[in-house]
Structure 1
Amino acid sequence: MTLVAELAARLALIDDMPDMGAAPPSPEDIARFEKFFAPVGGYRPPDALVEEHEAPGPHGPVPVRVYRPVDRAPEARGLVWMHGGAFVGGHLDMPEADVVARELAHLSGATVVSVDYRLCNGGVHFPVPHDDVHAAFVWASTTSALLPSGAPWAIGGASAGANLALGVAQRLRDEGRPASAVLLAYPVVHDPVPTGSPEQVARMADLPRVLRFTAESTFFLNRNYLGPHPATTPYAFPGLGRLDGLPTTFVSLCEYDDLLPSGERLVADLRASGVDVVEDVVAGAPHGHLNVPGLPVARATLRAMSDVLQRA
């Protein structure tokens, strides 16, 4: 196994942990998992001007957190961003939300709106999280207090958040008000997840189960997200839907990720649909590398995202 050195050194923390998608984790398991994804020593996220707001939505108010840069001149562009968490977890304080938003505001000068969409717990299913994200994008892109009218707004997310970002980008295209760009990190866009090559399957077999998205766990998580809806419902699993007419789309994929074949298929299908695609394949990284603050490969991905955002 050739994981990036910073994470390879931490594997002993999680080697014997079970697949967290197959059963509720214990508090001890959660603590060990968080240590594995702890910040790299010496890293400090950029400062930002941070405000808490609510966007009106069809299922009630949607909490959002707005980030503006403080150590560079702000630019008239925005990004609506969604954290991951398999549709059942995640929050605005996790690194994939807070640190990513701070870094992208700092690197690009953009105003970043991080969305606290409803999770699929307690009877919540699609389209509720999708509707929350759509409402947050409409609010952000039409609120003059954030950016001048007509400023470009991109949309992006990680893992389950990337599913929501791409699904809403398709909906915005169909509504005639497209996003300026789409930024996706290790996206969840197909159901079922395509099978990888023999080499990729063998590579994943050596990874601790807690870092895996096995067929069993993705089946459970996807069914929980969909509720009574089929996977082909428009915008639910956007890799199964129409991809033409989307703006420039950045797709970051991780070498050690069961979802890599899905991401590779998405990239191929986007290109076949005439979409301008920027692909970022992160060698040695597991799914969720943006959740490790200061990880060098994560910072490289964020710089690549910022480049696309600044050109949007």
Structure 2
Amino acid sequence: MASKSVCFVLVTVLLAYYIYMPLPDNVEEKFKVMLLDATFRTLGHAGTLAELLGIKHYMDVMMLLTKLEHTEPISDEHVTVTDTSFNNVPVRLYVPKRQSEALRRAVIYIHGGGWCLGSAAMMPYDLLSRQTAQQLNALVVSINYRLAPIFHFPAQYDDVYTVVKFFLQHSILEKYSVDPSRIAVSGDSAGGNLATAVTLELLHDPEVKVKLKIQALIYPVLQTLDLNTPSYRENGNMPILSRTLMVRFWSEYFTTDKKLFDAMFTNRHMTSQEAHLFKFVNWSTLLPDSLKKHHIYHKPQYGDSSFVKKYPAILDTRVSPLLTEDDKLKGLPLTYVITCMYDVLRDDGFMYVSRLRQAGVQVIHHHYDSTFHGILLLNTLPFDLEIAHHITAKYLEWLGNNL
């Protein structure tokens, strides 16, 4: 009996030690956040082990969460939900049932997941799209683009651009009773990256006559040049998106070659030939003083030139929208940006806000000091957080008032 008690206490202590992680004082519902982080870490450890043993690719294991949260396209009394395709790219459509004499608004949504994970059918995304359709009486087009490591850039971008361009045709808008002057594109994380890139491309595409009214970028990832900004340094071990995982996402977007991951992880994947581009991501000039704190900006450390030569997409503005020249930012639609304090991508969002404002683009920036990356996904049990519902409500309110 005594030995069983000792074993129980030992297991309990070890479990508590594994689950516990120090969190900033202002993070709410800490125990839920710790459980969430432990779940993600466990999945990551399983992925690493499976890859080492040659059983599965790391991202195949991480995809288990996407599969567990899969939902069927079930309609309800408020919204008709269907899975279909636009120009051979799968999408999930949410059509509100509320009758209206006026043409509807529309939101094109692009899910996150580091270009490797996620789905429009995941429960959190499904709920967000339903809420958007119902509260805004808007048609929602949620895109299921191809994923790495099976497909690398530009497959993800091409799928999204194909859907958006197809949807913006007058004949398609008429079919779904959508007002061509009230269309938004929105996305979170890697989806925010794709939304940003697509919006920039549409601005200069002479074939597209219908223009987006607004873009909403939720903690977007926007540059691959400097993976050692203050937010990468400070938040490398914060919940959901660690620095290691973000670098892994970046490298998998281009290739399964682990050498690129190693170079990016040490922030030595650029050469002196790219020195002129660092002005676009120079956080010492683009971040507010409150975020620079004790950080000192150093000139980039350059590495092997073979990576940029082998994977030129690293410098493509469709991959790193922050590398876009100032004159090509002018004319972008009203932009809404969400950033979170404890997020490795925080500084990407802040830098883009600064660049857009310098270019004369109207930007609304909502920054949340007490939370972390991926917060909008924490809207369902067992990890639903109050702040997730608060941020979602503010996001939908802004869309409702500006679309």
Equivalent residues in 2 for 1:290-305, closer than 5 Å: 290-293=376-379, 295-305=385-395
1:253 maps to 2:339: yes
1:65–1:223 Cα change, 3 Å: same
Aligned to 2:25: 2
CA distance in structure 1 between the aligned counterparts of 2:250 and 2:62, rounded to whole angstroms: 26
Counterpart contact for 1:94–1:291, Cα < 8 Å: no
Q: CA deviation at 1:225?
A: 1.4
Q: CA deviation at 1:299?
A: 2.8
Q: 1:67 aligns with which of 94, 98, 103?
A: 94
Alignment deviations for residues 1-54 of structure 1 (CA, whole Å, 9 cap, x no partner): 2364335434045348269498427969966x999x9xxxxxxx9942112221
1:231 is paired with a residue whose SS is helix
Q: CA deviation at 1:194?
A: 5.0
1:154 is paired with a residue whose SS is strand
What amino acid is aligned across from residue 85 of structure 2 in structure 1?
Answer: E
CA distance in structure 1 between the aligned counterparts of 2:77 and 2:164, rounded to whole angstroms: 24
1:250 is paired with a residue whose SS is strand
Equivalent residues in 2 for 1:198-277, closer than 5 Å: 201-202=233-234, 204=235, 207-208=238-239, 211-214=240-243, 216-227=244-255, 228-241=311-324, 242-277=328-363
What amino acid is aligned across from residue 186 of structure 1 in structure 2?
Answer: Y
Which structure shows the higher helix fraction? 2
CA distance in structure 2 between the aligned counterparts of 1:20 and 1:262, rounded to whole angstroms: 24
Counterpart contact for 1:83–1:96, Cα < 8 Å: no
Aligned to 2:221: 188
Aligned to 2:306: none
What amino acid is aligned across from residue 189 of structure 1 in structure 2?
Answer: L
Gaps of 5+ in 2: 1-23, 49-57, 70-75, 256-310
The TM-score, its normalising length taken from structure 1, stands at 0.81
1:230 is paired with a residue whose SS is helix
Equivalent residues in 2 for 1:115-130, closer than 5 Å: 115-122=143-150, 124-130=151-157
Counterpart contact for 1:193–1:259, Cα < 8 Å: no
CA distance in structure 1 between the aligned counterparts of 2:179 and 2:95, rounded to whole angstroms: 17
CA distance in structure 1 between the aligned counterparts of 2:108 and 2:126, rounded to whole angstroms: 13
Worse-superposed segment, 64-73 or 150-159: 64-73
Q: CA deviation at 1:171?
A: 0.7
Alignment deviations for residues 121-147 of structure 1 (CA, whole Å, 9 cap, x no partner): 22x211111111111112222212212
What amino acid is aligned across from residue 157 of structure 1 in structure 2?
Answer: G
Larger Rg: 2
CA distance in structure 2 between the aligned counterparts of 1:205 and 1:297, rounded to whole angstroms: 22
Q: CA deviation at 1:179?
A: 1.4
CA distance in structure 2 between the aligned counterparts of 1:288 and 1:28, rounded to whole angstroms: 15
1:264–1:292 Cα change, 3 Å: same
1:72–1:188 Cα change, 3 Å: farther
1:193–1:102 Cα change, 3 Å: farther
CA distance in structure 2 between the aligned counterparts of 1:297 and 1:86, rounded to whole angstroms: 23
1:140 maps to 2:167: yes
1:30–1:63 Cα change, 3 Å: closer
Q: CA deviation at 1:96?
A: 4.5
1:85 maps to 2:171: no
Q: CA deviation at 1:255?
A: 1.7
Alignment deviations for residues 72-116 of structure 1 (CA, whole Å, 9 cap, x no partner): 858521111011111111112214421221111122221110000
Aligned to 1:287: 373
Counterpart contact for 2:80–2:96, Cα < 8 Å: yes
Q: CA deviation at 1:153?
A: 1.6
Q: CA deviation at 1:151?
A: 4.1
Equivalent residues in 2 for 1:138-177, closer than 5 Å: 138-142=165-169, 143=172, 144-148=174-178, 150-176=180-206, 177=208
Gaps of 5+ in 1: 38-44
Alignment deviations for residues 147-204 of structure 1 (CA, whole Å, 9 cap, x no partner): 2463422111111111111100011001144311101111011103554448x844x3
Counterpart contact for 1:255–1:285, Cα < 8 Å: yes
2:168 is paired with a residue whose SS is helix
Counterpart contact for 2:341–2:372, Cα < 8 Å: yes
2:104 is paired with a residue whose SS is coil
What fraction of aligned residue pairs are identical, expressed as a percent? 25
CA distance in structure 2 between the aligned counterparts of 1:238 and 1:25, rounded to whole angstroms: 25
Alignment deviations for residues 181-233 of structure 1 (CA, whole Å, 9 cap, x no partner): 101111011103554448x844x36635xx2331x443332232135333221
The TM-score, its normalising length taken from structure 2, stands at 0.64
Counterpart contact for 1:254–1:282, Cα < 8 Å: yes
